[in-house]
């Protein structure tokens, strides 16, 4: 059985949905963060799959950009989470609803 | 020789700047002499320009001098340029010539005033603005001068601003003029929108191809401007009040030059006006009514200057009759003779006010002054006879031509004009009799003050200490030194200009004698400017003889009536001076009442109903609506991250669904 591009796309979709679902249902900021990373990586996987299927190097180029941006985002995001956890140990995402109108 | 035309306005400009910077240091009387010399020099240069123009063939007497591009804005470009042609040169000579004489008179009149140099600064500025007005090559430059003379008029009417009335009168003049200026501005916009240029030459060339409606609109808007500046019905109210200014100002600005700017403007655009004879008819009727109303009001005024002011209103009406009848040459003729006559009359009145009556202007306190001020009296009487239309003085010729030719436009115009002419003769004679004849009526007459020596500057100290007439002492501390005691003749700086103007008022008719084309100098000079715009009316020979005779008879009838009433006292004066005329048909009062009652009520309505409820309601309503909407929308902002994430996810899913459906993927 040959592994075609569709398999990768399907995997990407499943990973994305898992990430999105996790983001919606979990309360722990750190876990939610990991879910976001999962979604990002699902997208990059899709890019690579298309890049291979269409024989276009552009998709892979985008992936490099996404990796760099994701790294930067992780640094900032983790910094914020650490700062929050220091001030309020054990806080969930619902506890920090400061933007409530 | 024409290249020196720019010097004509440049000289008063230089004079203005020098006086502004060093006027106080020059002091009295040198600031006055300097200003006079500057204007005299401008007159001399005007003569040179005039000579240069005469040297050209009649058809080529148009010279444009462009100094620089003033406003280059895309397709709209205005040059600061001067147009020198017979029409503008005529006005240049008038403004600088009469201006120089009145400057000279002012040296005597303003003697002792603490703002002596300021007065001459303003006067030079006025002459500059007036020259820019008449020399402008396009409507915008003319408008610059138009506003300039308005400002100077305001400054000079309100010259004695520490008193109560002059600032009010100045404001009134300014505001009333703004109404006219609005019309002028709209006319400029319309001209530019129609022909893409604001130059007179372009406008007059394009007059023939213009739509009648456009031409009528331009003329009507310019007419509104002219009505404001030249004090016609319904905007004449500012001119009588303008008499609050010093008398030389009344002579120069509010009689001889500025108020004729409206006539000049209408003459300038004569080819456009020729396209719409109905507008001409409107102008002529406005002029005729103004002439009559002004004359009627003048018959019952007690203030020596108010009589002359309403007389000016009335005479300007005659000029408008001429303009409306497309007899532009006669309008210019009357402008010139009127400048001489009214200049002499105002200077005479100024002489009476300062040296005869100590700033009392009420004619009921005068009388018999001809014994004390012989030169002033002679000049005043000559000018009064001239403006009454007594042959062969200047006013007879100019007024008669206007009346004669107004018959061609409409016989009714002629009759109204003739009636006004009768009253003109009547009120001028009344004024002469009240001021210079009869028994002296000023206070302290019983002590029989000795006639003072002519020009005696120190005559006052020796004379009996006659009580001063009850008048505001406008000169402050410096007043007493020059003129004390009873009435006496003015110094020579005052009576010389007066005499010159009186002589011109007597012989000014030679400019245009209707005997043959050889004696019609003004027509020959100005006809090339107007050409086809002139009316084609030619009176019959019989009418040409009958008209002047009727006019002369009417003039003598007016004088005779006045003599019966005020000299022989057959009828008590109070009978012929009804209150309604003394108050000027209650015109000012009606305006005040209208503004105060319906006007105030409507503004109250606007303030407390429209503004407080309508406008504020909309503004506050917008605020309240925003608040209410916000109160509903804030529920959406839960602050829970998962809520936002769900929103994003649902939104993305919806967008995806839409793309699939709409794109048919």
Residues 29-48 of A with CB under 8 A from B: 32
Q: What are phi and psi of B88, to 5 degrees?
A: -70, -35
Cα B482 to Cα B298: distance, rounded to the nearest angstrom = 32
B639, B646, B649: residue with CB nearest A99: B639
Q: Nearest by CB to A93, which of B634, B637, B641?
A: B641
Asked whether the beta carbons of residue A101 and residue B645 sit closer than 8 angstroms, the reply is: no
Interface test with B, best of A24, A28, A101 (most B CBs within 10 A): A101
Q: Which residues of chain B make contact with A99, given a CB cutoff of 8 A?
A: 637, 639
CA distance B281 to A12: 91
CB contacts, 8 Å: A101 with chain B:
633-639
Q: Which residues of A touch B632 (CB under 8 A)?
A: none
Judging contacts by C-beta atoms under 8 Å, the chain A residues touching residue B633 are 101
DSSP structure class, residue B362: B
Residue B638 contacts A where some CB pair is shorter than 8 Å: yes
Interface contact flag, B649 A20, Cβ < 8 Å: yes
Among B296, B169, B272, B289, smallest CA distance to B227 is for B289
- The pair of three-digit structure tokens given for residue B543, joined into one six-digit string: 């009418």
Dihedral sign, Cα of residue B525, residue B526, residue B528, residue B531: negative
Report residue B69: phi and psi, to 5°. Answer: -80, 125
Residue of B452, B469, B444, B462 whose CA lies nearest to B375: B452
d(CA B160, CA B640): 77
Could you tell me which residues come within 8 angstroms of residue B202 by beta carbon, excluding any fewer than 6 positions away? B195
Nearest residue of B to residue A95, measured between CA atoms = B640
How close does chain A come to B635, measured CA to CA in Å? 7
Angle at B302 between CA B297 and CA B306, to 5 degrees: 60
Hey, is the C-beta of A20 within 8 angstroms of any chain B C-beta? Answer: yes
Q: Which of A16, A17, A24 is the best mutation test for B, with the most CBs of B within 10 A?
A: A24
Tell me, what's the pLDDT at B477?
A: 36
| Model confidence pTM above 0.90 | no
The residue in chain A having the minimum alpha-carbon distance to the alpha carbon of residue B652 is: A20
Instruction: Calculate the alpha carbon distances from A101 to A55, A92, B347, B631 in Å.
Output: 49, 19, 82, 9
**pLDDT at residue number B462:** 35
Of A20, A25, A97, the CB nearest to B640: A97
CB B83, CB B264: distance < 8 Å: no
Q: Do A23 and B637 touch (CB under 8 A)?
A: no
- Say what the pLDDT of residue B464 is: 36
∠ CA(B327), CA(B427), CA(B421), 5° rounding? 25
Residue B201 CA to residue B197 CA, distance in Å, equals 10
Query: What pLDDT does B357 receive?
Result: 78
B641 near A CB under 8 A: yes
Alpha helices, H only, chain A = 5-25, 29-54, 58-87
How far is the alpha carbon of B627 from chain A, nearest alpha carbon, in Å?
Answer: 13
Contact list, B634 vs chain A (CB under 8 Å):
101
Closest approach of chain A CAs to the CA of B661, in angstroms?
A: 20
Which chain B residues are closer than 8 Å to A25 by Cβ? 642
Kindly give the parts of chain B with pLDDT less than 70. Answer: 444-485, 665
Residues 514-543 of B with CB under 8 A from A: none
Residue numbers in B near A31 (CB within 8 A): none
* B627 interface with A at CB cutoff 8 Å: no
CB-based contact, A91 to chain B, within 8 Å:
no
Q: How many residues does chain B have?
A: 665
Element (H, E) at B77: strand B76-84
Sign, CA torsion B431/B433/B434/B440: positive
Put simply, whether B632 touches A (Cβ < 8 Å) is: no
Instruction: For chain A, say whether B77 makes contact (Cβ under 8 Å).
Output: no
Least CB-CB distance to A99: which of B637, B646, B649?
A: B637
Higher local confidence (pLDDT), A75 or B488: A75
Chain B residues closer than 8 Å to A98 by CB: 639
Q: What is the pLDDT of residue B457?
A: 38
- Between B212-229 and B139-157, two packed helices, what is the crossing angle to 10 degrees? 20
Counted across chains A and B, CB pairs separated by less than 8 A come out at 31
Q: Which chain B residues are within 8 Å of A43, Cβ to Cβ?
A: none
The answer to whether B135 and B81 are in contact (CB under 8 A) is no
**Look-up: residue for tokens 């020979």?**
B541
């Amino acid at each position: 059985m040959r592994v075609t591009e569709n398999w990768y796309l399907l995997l990407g979709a499943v990973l994305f949905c898992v990430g999105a679902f996790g983001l919606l249902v979990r309360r722990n900021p750190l876990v939610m963060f990991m879910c976001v990373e999962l979604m990002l990586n699902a997208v990059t996987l899709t890019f690579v799959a298309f890049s291979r299927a269409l024989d276009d190097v552009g998709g892979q180029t985008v992936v490099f950009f996404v990796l760099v941006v994701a790294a930067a985002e992780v640094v900032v995001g983790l910094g914020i989470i650490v700062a929050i956890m220091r001030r309020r140990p054990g806080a969930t995402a619902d506890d920090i609803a400061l933007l409530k109108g | 020789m024409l290249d020196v035309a720019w010097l004509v306005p440049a000289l008063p400009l230089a004079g203005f700047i020098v006086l502004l910077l060093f006027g106080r240091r020059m002091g009295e009387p040198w600031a006055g002499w300097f200003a006079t010399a500057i204007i005299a020099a401008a007159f001399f240069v005007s003569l040179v320009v005039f000579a240069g123009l005469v040297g050209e063939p009649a058809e080529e007497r148009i010279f444009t001098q462009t100094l620089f591009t003033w406003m280059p804005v895309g397709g709209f470009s205005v040059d600061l340029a001067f147009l020198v042609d017979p029409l503008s040169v005529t006005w240049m000579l008038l403004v600088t010539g009469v201006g120089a004489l009145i400057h000279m008179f002012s040296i005597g009149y303003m003697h002792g005033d603490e703002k002596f140099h300021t007065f001459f600064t303003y006067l030079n500025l006025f002459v500059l603005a007036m020259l820019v007005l008449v020399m402008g090559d396009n409507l915008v430059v003319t408008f610059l001068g138009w506003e300039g003379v308005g400002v100077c008029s305001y400054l000079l009417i309100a010259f004695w601003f520490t008193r109560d009335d002059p600032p009010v009168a100045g404001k009134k003049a300014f505001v009333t003029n703004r109404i006219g200026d609005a019309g002028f501005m709209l006319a400029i916009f319309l001209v530019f929108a129609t022909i893409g240029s604001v130059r007179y030459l372009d406008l007059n060339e394009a007059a023939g191809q213009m739509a009648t409606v456009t031409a009528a609109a331009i003329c009507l808007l310019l007419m509104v401007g002219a009505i404001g500046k030249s004090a016609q019905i319904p905007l004449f109210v500012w001119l009588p009040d303008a008499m609050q200014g010093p008398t030389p100002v009344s002579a120069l600005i509010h009689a001889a030059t500025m108020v004729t700017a409206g006539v000049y403007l209408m003459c300038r655009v004569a080819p456009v006006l020729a396209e719409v004879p109905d507008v001409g008819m409107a102008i002529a009727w406005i002029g005729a009514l103004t002439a009559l109303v002004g004359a009627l009001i003048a018959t019952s005024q007690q203030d020596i200057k108010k009589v002359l002011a309403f007389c000016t209103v009335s005479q300007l009406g005659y000029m408008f009759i001429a303009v409306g009848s497309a007899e532009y040459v006669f309008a210019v003729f009357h402008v010139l003779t009127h400048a001489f006559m009214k200049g002499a009359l105002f200077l005479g009145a100024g002489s009476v006010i300062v040296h005869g009556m100590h700033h009392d202007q009420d004619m009921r306190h005068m009388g018999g002054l001809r014994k004390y001020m012989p030169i002033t009296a002679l000049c005043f009487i000559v000018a009064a006879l001239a403006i009454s239309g007594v042959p062969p003085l200047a006013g007879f010729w100019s007024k008669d031509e206007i009346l004669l030719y107004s018959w061609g436009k409409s016989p009714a115009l002629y009759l109204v004009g003739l009636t006004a002419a009768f009253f003109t003769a009547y009120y001028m004679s009344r004024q002469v009799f009240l001021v210079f004849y009869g028994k002296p009526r000023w206070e302290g007459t019983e002590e029989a003050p000795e006639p003072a020596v002519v020009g005696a500057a120190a005559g006052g100290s020796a004379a009996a200490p006659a009580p001063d007439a009850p008048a505001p002492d406008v000169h402050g501390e410096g007043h007493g030194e020059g003129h004390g005691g009873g009435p006496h003749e003015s110094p020579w700086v005052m009576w010389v200009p007066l005499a010159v103007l009186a002589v011109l008022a007597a012989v000014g008719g030679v400019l245009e004698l209707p005997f043959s084309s050889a004696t019609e100098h003004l027509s020959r000079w100005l006809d090339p400017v107007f050409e086809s715009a002139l009316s084609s009316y030619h009176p019959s020979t019989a009418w040409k003889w009958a008209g002047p005779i009727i006019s002369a008879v009417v003039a003598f009838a007016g004088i005779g009536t006045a003599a019966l009433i005020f000299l022989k006292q057959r009828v008590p004066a109070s009978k012929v001076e009804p209150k309604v005329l003394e108050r000027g048909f209650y015109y000012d009062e009606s305006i005040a009442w209208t503004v105060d009652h319906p006007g105030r009520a409507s503004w109250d309505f606007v303030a407390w109903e429209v503004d407080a409820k309508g406008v504020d309601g909309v503004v506050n309503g917008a605020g309240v609506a925003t608040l209410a909407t916000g109160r509903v929308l804030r529920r959406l902002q839960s602050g829970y991250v998962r809520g936002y994430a769900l929103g994003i996810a649902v939104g993305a899913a919806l967008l995806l669904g839409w793309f699939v459906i709409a794109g048919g993927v």
